[in-house]
Amino acid sequence: MLMFCPICANVLVIEEGPKCYRFACNTCPYVHNVTRKITDRKYPKLKEVDDVLGGAAAWENVDSTSETCPKCSHNRAFFMQIQTRSADEPMTTFYKCCNMQCSHQWRD
């Protein structure tokens, strides 16, 4: 958790004071003693893989190939290739099952 100085707006550092820990500013004399346990947890919403790849619209104009779905064994799948790593690494191929009841997604 970051705390900021109310006087100069710099980040406060934690230091051990004479009786307790405290937040102190490195640029001005501001000090705030910590008298209770301070916790603050934030859990960010994890993005779906489909959202990262552009959502449902990303699959509108893609080609299909003969690839077997690992979930339903359908013999066709839509595919697209995206450069997910550095340029000297190969592109990642993403697949989506052509069977509309399945629509399983995987990558190669």
CATH number of the domain where residue 12 is located: 2.20.25.10
Task: Tally the domains of the chain.
Answer: 2
Enclosing H/E stretch for 8 = none
Can you say which residues are annotated as belonging to the binding site for Zn(2+)? 5, 8, 25, 28, 69, 72, 97, 102
Query: Residues 21-32: pLDDT tens digits?
Result: 899 999 999 998
Spatial CB neighbours of 42, under 8 Å, sequence gap ≥ 6:
none
pLDDT bucket at 62, cuts 50 / 70 / 90 = confident
Can you say which residues are annotated as belonging to the binding site? 5, 8, 25, 28, 69, 72, 97, 102
Structural domain range at position 15: 1-42
Contact 89, 81 (CB under 8 A): no
Residue 107 has pLDDT above 80, yes or no: yes
Q: Name the pTM for this structure.
A: 0.50
6/26 same-domain check: yes
Report the relative pairing of strands 92-97 and 105-107 from DSSP bridges.
antiparallel
Contact 20, 34 (CB under 8 A): yes
